Each structure stands twice: as structure tokens, then as C-alpha cells.
Amino acid sequence: MNQRTEVPGHEASRVSKTVEIPSRQLSGAKAAVVDFLSKYALVAGLVGLTLYFAISPQTSETFSSWTNVQTIVASESVVGIVALAALVPLVAFRFDLSLGANVTVSAIATAHAVANWEVPTAVGVIIGISTGALIGLVNGLLVSLFQANSLVITLGTATLLSGLSALFSGYDIILGVSDSMTDFGATSFLGIPKPAWLLLICVLAVTVLLRYTVAGRQFSLIGSNEKAAKLVGVPVSGRVAFSFVVAGALAGVAAVLLVCRTGSASTGIGEGFMLPALAAVFLGSTTIKPGRFTVAGAIVGVFFVAVAVNGLTLAGVDDWVEPTFTGAVVVVAVALSAVLMARSRGARL
């Protein structure tokens, strides 16, 4: 007799369902791994580079020494502060390419005030930071009030500042800054170089600004959708100008620290910090929160480039490798950042 029941059909359905569950779980696990790598690949790369240079026979002895670690942290403090300066207007989707020249002019103003005018150190520090903030204000007004392209304006400002720094200093090296400044640049507190403590203070200040203040959150809104920011009443022009003032003030802080580190100032002293800072910021936009400029990402980017360059230098590579590596990092980071930002904006829409 041919008897047919529906039970086998139900059983088959149950079997198929039990087969699908592991497949879904596998797919979910794979997505989790991809998501983790997309967020923390740069952090993992930094850890990997550090471990490689720490165990490599060519570099292990010098790279792993505490002296070398202190050197990296202290020397990258200036780059880190310049990177934070670049980050603030970038959050509002504006570029400041004059930061390197700003550091130069602010450093010359600081050193000249302390060494030649013999003003107190505190006054010299205020002069340096104020000079940077004033340059930022000029950039911000030009960009916001005239709706000008920030790339073009700040590139022109950088060229102008380079000429003015040469006119003001006459290509001479300004020496004779106070011992209190050079001591700050060369000494440590609790075993950590004092410049690193200053970098930490700047990191905390910028984090508070961007995350916990109305102005900082409005920077993000302007950067993600400027038209929407205007519709909800955000004073876009004022906020953009303010972002450049903050960037300029941070450039002034970096300039003062640079004077403390070198004990001098001269034409072009700060212009070499622009490219590494941009590389760090754009690298940072590919990690932790991909597609967004973040303080944590920028600092990871700073030390990724620093560890790589330091390790390669200790390994004895040719002189052309460092600029080639940094330039390649900028190109790759900007390309990845553009892709991630496009995806992030698409997801928000």
C-alpha cells in the first residue's frame, strides 16, 4: 500500500532549518571578523611593526631600548599636535595646508621674543600661541566669509608665511632661548618626556572640544552635511572660522614645543611637519571609526608612521625610503579615507 503522510515533509523542513543555522552563524562570524579588521587593522599594523622591529636582529637592540622609545615619543609630540591641528577643520571638511608655515612663523615669534626681546618665558609662550591663533583667524575669515576654497586659500597663506618668515628672520637661526624652555623639551616627568605630557593635554582638550561641546558636534554636522547644518540653524561661517582659529592655536602650541625641543628657530623649521601630520590624520580616518576623522585615529596614525620610519632608519635603509614611504602612506590613506567616507555618508542617507 502506498500511504503518504506529511510528517516526512515536516522533518525535512526541520532538517533544512537546522542546516541553515550554522551557515548563518558562520556568515555572522565572518562579518564580525571583517568589521573588526576594518576598525582595527591599523592598530594591529602598529603592534605588528613594533614587534617586528623589536625582534629583528638588525634593529632589536636599539629599537627596544627605553632611550629610543623616549626619543620617538618626544619627537613625535610636535607632529602629533600638528596632526590635531589639521584634524579640527577636517572634521568640518575644510583643509588647512598652512599649518607647517604657521609653526615656522610662530616658532620664530616665540624665539625672537624670548631671546632678543628678553621677555619672560610665559609671555613668549603666549606670543607664540597667539601668533598661531591669529594666522588661523585670518584663514578662517577668508574661507568662511568669502566662501573660498580652503585648499587654495591655505596654500596661498603657506606661501605668504614662508616669505614673511624669511623676511623677519633673515634666514638666521635665532638662538638664546631661556633654559626653562630647553629643559622642558629635554627632560622627563615620571619617566615620560614632558613633550609627551603636553601632547596628552592637547589630545584631551581636542577630544573634549569635538565630543562634548556644541561647537565640536556642529563641526561634525557641517562636515557630514553642510546644507542640513544650515537648515537646522548652525552658524556655519562662524563655526568654520572657529575651527581654523583652534587649528592655528594648536600650531602655535606645536611651535612653542618645537622651540623647547631645539632651543632655536629658523626659516622653514616647521614646514616638514605638514606631510607627516596629514598622513597621520588620513590614516587615522581608516581605523577605529572608519570614514571619520577622530583624535584616537590620528594619534595611532602618528605613531604608525613614526615607528615605521624609526625602524627603517635603524635598519639602515637608504635616505630615499623615508620620504617615499611617507608619501605612499598619504596617497593610500587619502584613497581609503575617500572610499570609507563615501560609504559612511551613503549609510547615513
Q: If residue 160 lies in a helix (H) or strand (E), which one and from where to where?
A: helix 150-169
CATH class of 40-343: mainly alpha
Determine the pLDDT at residue 167.
Answer: 83
Distance of CA 337 to the CA centre of its chain: 13
Cα dihedral sign, 187-189-193-199: negative
Residues of the chain with pLDDT under 70: 1-38, 171, 337, 341-349
Any idea of the CA torsion for 230, 234, 237, 243, to the nearest 10 degrees? -130
Strands (E), 146-284: 188-189, 192-193
Which of 235, 228, 293 lies closest to 96, judged by CA?
293
- 3-state SS of 301-344 is HHHHHHHHHHHHHHCCCCCCHHHHHHHHHHHHHHHHHHHHHHHH
Whether residue 211 contacts residue 82, with contact meaning beta carbons closer than 8 Å, is answered with: no
**pTM to 2 decimals?**
0.86
Helix extents (H) in 56-120: 60-63, 66-91, 99-115
For the chain, the domains span 40-343
Per the CB < 8 A criterion, the answer to whether 198 and 219 are in contact is no
